Structures are given as C-alpha cells and as structure tokens.
Chains A and B, each alone.
Chain A
Amino acid sequence: MTLLRTNCALAALVMLTACGQTVADPSTQYGETPELPAPKQYIMPPMQVPPGEGWDKGQTPVVPAGLQIRAFATGFEHPRNVYVLPNGDVLVVETNGPKAPIYRPKDYVEGKVKALAGSGAPAGNRILLLRDANGDGVPDLRSVFIDHLNSPFGVALVGADLYVAATDAILKFPYTPGETHISAPAVKLTDLPAGAINHHWTKSLTASPDGSKLYVGVGSNSNITENGIPAETGRAAIWEVDRATGLKRIFASGTRNPTGLAFEPTTSKLWAVVNERDEIGPNLVPDYLTSVKESAFYGWPYSYFGQHVDVRVQPQRADLVAKAIPPDYALSSHVAPLGMVFTQASRLPASYRSGVFVSEHGSWDRSPLNGYKVVYVPFRDGRPNGPPQDVVTGFLSPDGARSQGRPVGIALDRSGALLIADDVGNVVWRVSAVG
C-alpha cells in the first residue's frame, strides 16, 4: 500500500496526472450551477478507452421498469442519426467523418485510439429508409434512400423539401410521401464550414416551427484552437439559414460543438446540446443543454460557463469573455451529448412526456467514464426541472472495460417510441412502453 502510494506520488510528480485523486461524482455537475474545479494542465490527461466491441447475440441495453427495449434493425455501417418521416418511415444516417489530417504526432495517436473505441469504423455515408408497415416494431422494408453523401448528419423535412446537412453543405432533395428512394439530384441550399481540418464534422439540423428557417450546428475546428484561431471562422456556432434564399447568419456563437438542435414544443424556443472542451480535468468542462438565445456568445474558446477563462487560448479576448453567458443546464463532464429529442409526442409512460431525452455517446477523455447512456431531463414551464434520469443504460460492460454500443442520434417514431442509433453496436434500438 505504501509502495502504491509512493508510486502514485511519483507518477503524479512526473506525469502530473490525477493519480490517486478522487473525481467528484457527476451529480455535482448537473443543472444550472455545476461545481467547477480548478483547471489543470496535464502531461498525460486522464483517459480511459473502452474498446468498442459490439453486442453479443440477444444482448440489449437496459431500461427501467415500465419500458422495454428491442433492436429495431441491425447490420448497419456506423449509424449516427435517425429521423422519422410523417408517414412513419425511419431514416437511418450511416456516416463517419472525413479522413482527419495528421498535423502532429498526437493526431496519429488519437486516430488509433478512436479506432479502438469504435469511432473509426467505415460508414455508408448514405441514408437508409426502413418501413414498419404493420407497426410491430420490426421493419419489413429496407432501402437505400439517398446514396453518396459527404459525411451527412442532420436531416429535416419541411413540406416536400427534405434537407440533409452534409459536412460541407445543406442539400435539398424533393420528397414525395411514400417513396423509398430519391434519385433526383440534390440542390445545394448553402455551403457550411468544412475544409481540410474539419475537426468536428457533424452538422446538426432542425427547422423552425413555421418552416421558414433552418438551424444548423457547426462544431469547432479543434479542441481548443490548437489549429489556430483563423481556422475557427464560422465555427463553434449555430447558424440560421433562410430556407427561401439560402442566406445565412450566425444565430449564436461560442458553442464548441452543438451536436443536437430541437425546438421546445410548448415555448417554440430553440435548444441545443453542446460538447465542451477537453484535457483540463475529468470534471472540466461540463457538456450542456441550453436554450439558444439569439446573438448570444457562450464562451468558446475564450471561457466556459460564463467568465471561467481558458488560459490555453492566446491572445486572450477580455471583451468576449465579458460577453459570455453561461448555458442553462450542465449535463456533467465528458458525457458527449450527441442527440436530443423533446418528449411531448412520446407514448412512453407519463413520467417521460414533458422533457427531453439526451443521448450521451460517452468519451475516453475522462477516467472514470461518464455518459454511455440516454437520459431524460424533466421540464416544467419550458425549463429544465430536476436532475437527469437514466433511461437507457448498459452500453458499457459491467466492469466498464469495453463498450458494447454507444448511443448517438435519437428520435421518436410515429407510435411515440424512442429510436436510438448505436454506432458501435451498428444497431437502431427501439424503446417503448411495456404492454
């Protein structure tokens, strides 16, 4: 024991790791005022990489009493998003990022780590359509809906116009209800920030309730400006795109990686889930859920949760730090929220019908691991009201040594059940009420 402690002290001295320190529980970082420890600069940041190994036959994630979970469909190539059309057809976006350039030896190592964790798998880069005509929770038709896309992620249907947010542009396709394949060529609505680095490549997408505007989440081009501040032009922002003209403007900024967007149905306000920065501690910086205020600045890269300055960003901008507003609701650190859906339309038990589901992909930038589950955040009067509740867990093996799946995009199907894209298990899960 003494030897262990000595080794730990030595490791802490030499490697400046968090060795031997206890990490405060994620529950200290839920809600409006998360506990924020002092930032640290590591030699080797605390991390834990659970190899992504997929599910054994018959094995599923775990849901609480009153809910049941089944595989809706399997055998995908890296499914990262789901979208439900008005006739009940389910779109599954098979996608992965463009090849990341190696600018530093670290980029090479990170590529290997991501491959181990199951994030580097080849993807279809296409959208599949699944139809469950008899509503038994098993699709009876499966077809390639749109093929040959450039790292697509967000999907939004407005009237007869289907919008797909590829990594470099919003594309518009004509959609006729009932069709199972779109062969018409895409019309580009507008370009999106991409380029050679394209670090956070997913472009989340949603339409305003009146259908006149599209909102698109554009992630930062780095963890914390290590590719230079000029590389961040137009990034770490939520853009508003006029659907009629394709003209766009930055609606809100300083949101490092806004991976999910949705309108809260009772207030018609835009909300987002955002992935915050890494490598300054296991409990920094909490990822968050927030209403998106027009023209607001949420801090990235200069600060977080208001005026907590990040010294890694130089030259500093005191003027922007002063403007930064804190987000509404912290989800705790390194949970990697990648999808959200408000639940008013769900047919799950009543206790799940007035809030938001958030899918937490989980990260390897923290030890112990956090996330790797789908949570429910209850709302009241259009605002979060209470801590997140676990809804779908069991994505990690019981000892945490490997991941069987990782949840990404989520949606409610026509029957009000929850669909979850799982990009490690290559499954789309369906969670419904028992009975």
Chain B
Amino acid sequence: MSERASDPSELMHPRLIAPGAALLIAALATDVVYWRTLLAQWDNFSIWLIAAGLVLAGAAAFALVVDMALGRIGPIAWGRFAGFALAALLSLLNAFVHSRDAYTAVVPNGLQLSALVAVILLVLGWRGWSLQAVPRPYPSKPREARS
C-alpha cells in the first residue's frame, strides 16, 4: 500500500458518513422535542432525518466500495465498519417504527432506537469518520499519528 493511497484526505466515504451521521443524531433531538411537546411536526422531522440519513448511509457504502476498488484505502477497521453498519440497520428499523401513526411512532421504541444510534455514532465518530485502520500503537495525539 503506497503512502499516497492511505492519505485520509483522498477518501470519499468519510465525506458521506459524516453528514449522514449528523442527520441520524439530529433525529434524537427532534424525537426528544416530540416526546416533550407531542407536536406531530417533530415526529415528521425525525422520519425525514432518518430517511435522509439512510440515503447517505447507502451512498457512503457505495463510496467505500469505490475507495476500495481504486485502492485508495489502507487496511479497513472492520470493528468500526460493523459499528456503522449496525447503526444503519438500527436506523432502518427505526424508520419503520417512525412510520407508525402518532405517539407510538416515537415513544418509546423510536426514541430508544434514535438514542442507541446516536450513542454508537458519537462514540465511533469521536475518532473521525474514516474506516481506515489506524496504524498501531493507537495514537493518543494527532502529532504521534503523523510521525
């Protein structure tokens, strides 16, 4: 694997995972507002955020395949991949839950799923949105990672 091939700035998939994750995390916020206000518009916001997040998740999966096909990506962190895939699957389930009518579209199952997805994405995203494995030892500072 060449040094250029594993340059994170060359990768396509993180640019799609990041906004997709932002939408799915935002759905937790709109769910909470629905739960507290019972105003139907917030439930509608949630389902559109989840639906758009899923579209971006699909696009990100495609981008990852492209990154791999073009040899731009180094070794893949399969644990992180599994985490993002789980978040996408739970969000798909959540889209069906959010397609119920009125209260039970959100409370409690929709809210629980949105919270679980948000936690998974925030934990995984703390280190960035790339699925490229980071060379060990695991860097604690950006400076070490570059050296």
> A residues touching B (Cβ–Cβ < 8 Å)?
14-15, 41-44, 103-106, 222-228, 279, 311-315
Contact = CB atoms under 8 A, between A and B. Distances in A.
B62 interface: no
B99 A313 contact: no
B88 to A, nearest CB: 15
A43 B39 contact: no
A104 B102 contact: no
Interface in B72-129: 93, 95-97, 99-105, 107, 109
B102 A312 contact: yes
Contacts of B24: none
B139 to A, nearest CB: 39
A307 B101 CA distance: 20
8 contacts: A41-B100, A43-B93, A43-B97, A104-B44, A104-B99, A226-B105, A279-B101, A311-B103
A224 B102 contact: yes
A14 B26 CA distance: 25
B51 A225 contact: no
A227 B96 CA distance: 17
Contact of B103 (A44, A103, A223, A313): A313
Nearest to A301: B102
Contacts, number: 55
Which of A225, A226, A313 has the most CB atoms of chain B within a 10 A radius of its CB?
Answer: A226
If over half of A's interface residues share one DSSP class (helix, strand or loop), that class is named, otherwise mixed; here it is loop
Nearest to A225: B102
A105 B47 contact: yes
A44 B96 contact: yes
Contact of B99 (A14, A106, A224, A228): A106
Contacts of B101: 222-226, 279, 312
Contacts of B38: 314-315
A227 B93 CA distance: 22
B102 A103 contact: no
A227 B97 CA distance: 16
A226 B97 contact: no
Contacts of B96: 15, 43-44
Contacts of B99: 104-106
Interface residues of B, number: 22
A311 B105 contact: no
Given A103-B44, A226-B40, A312 B104 contact: yes
Given A44-B96, A105-B95, A311-B103, 7 more contacts: A41-B104, A41-B109, A43-B93, A104-B44, A104-B99, A105-B51, A223-B101
A234 to B, nearest CB: 18
A104 B103 CA distance: 15
Contact of B102 (A43, A106, A314): A314
Contact of A228 (B40, B104, B107): B40
Nearest to A39: B104
B100 A104 contact: no
A223 B40 CA distance: 13
Contacts of A42: 100
Interface string B38-56: 1111011001100100000
Given A104-B48, A105-B51, A314-B38, A226 B102 contact: yes
B103 A227 contact: no
Contacts of A15: 96
Contacts of B97: 43
B47 A279 contact: no
A174 to B, nearest CB: 43
A41 B47 CA distance: 17
Nearest to B99: A106
B103 A228 contact: no
A223 B93 CA distance: 22
Contacts of A106: 47, 99
Contact of A312 (B48, B93, B103, B109): B103
Contacts of A312: 100-104
B43 to A, nearest CB: 8
A284 to B, nearest CB: 13
Nearest to A43: B96
A312 B96 CA distance: 16
A14 B109 CA distance: 13
Nearest to A223: B101
A114 to B, nearest CB: 16
Nearest to B51: A105
Contacts of B95: 105
Q: Which 10 A-B pairs have the closest CB atoms?
A: A226-B101, A228-B40, A312-B102, A314-B103, A106-B99, A43-B96, A226-B102, A41-B104, A223-B101, A224-B101
Contacts of A227: 40
Nearest to B41: A228
A103 B43 CA distance: 10
B34 to A, nearest CB: 10
A314 B43 CA distance: 13
Nearest to B102: A312
A413 to B, nearest CB: 40
A311 B99 CA distance: 16
Contacts of B44: 103-104
Nearest to B40: A228
Contacts of A314: 38, 102-103, 107
